[in-house]
Amino acid sequence: MQNKIITALVAGCFLFPYFAIAEIDSISQLKSEIKVNNPDKLLYSISAYQDCPVTEDEISKITHGVLVRSRLRPEKIEGKGAPLYLNITLRCTKPSNGLYVYSSDVYFARWEAAPLLIQPNFGTVGDAKKQTIKNMLKESIENAVTVYIASNFL
């Protein structure tokens, strides 16, 4: 019970109110939001907080692997100006009892006047060891990419 309370408190601290959010009511609406002219390439952006056991390089390798297996050309972006990209953020706290409390955000976004987040968020929240966090992150990225492929190729 205590871990669930700590997880909820930590996850609440990770919310950022300064983004515009496009609320999506259905998968068909999401598919129309992420349909692009050049679907063979998917841009992505990664950030991992300092206390995370999984580094940005490791997240990049996971993301690259998922995209290449999906026959998409991955391209990491830095900074602003991307028309549509997959944003991947990992936040963690130092471990207690060997488990990191983490929050991952995996969602599509685009830069216009400000970052526009396209919900839903495919990320997860929990407490786990490093390998489990990597596995959950990979699964979240795979889920997002599946919707992207369905939107652009099927």
Domain of residue 47, CATH code = 3.40.50
Tokens (6 digits) for 36: 């692009």
pLDDT at 101 over 70: yes
The proportion of the chain whose per-residue pLDDT surpasses 90, expressed as a percent, equals 56
If one counts the domains in the chain, the total is 1
**Owning domain of residue 88:** 2-14+22-153
Question: What per-residue confidence (pLDDT) applies to 80?
Answer: 65
pLDDT at 127 over 50: yes
Question: What per-residue confidence (pLDDT) applies to 11?
Answer: 42
- pLDDT one-digit tens code per residue, 31-65: 778 888 889 999 999 999 999 999 999 999 999 99
Question: What per-residue confidence (pLDDT) applies to 116?
Answer: 73
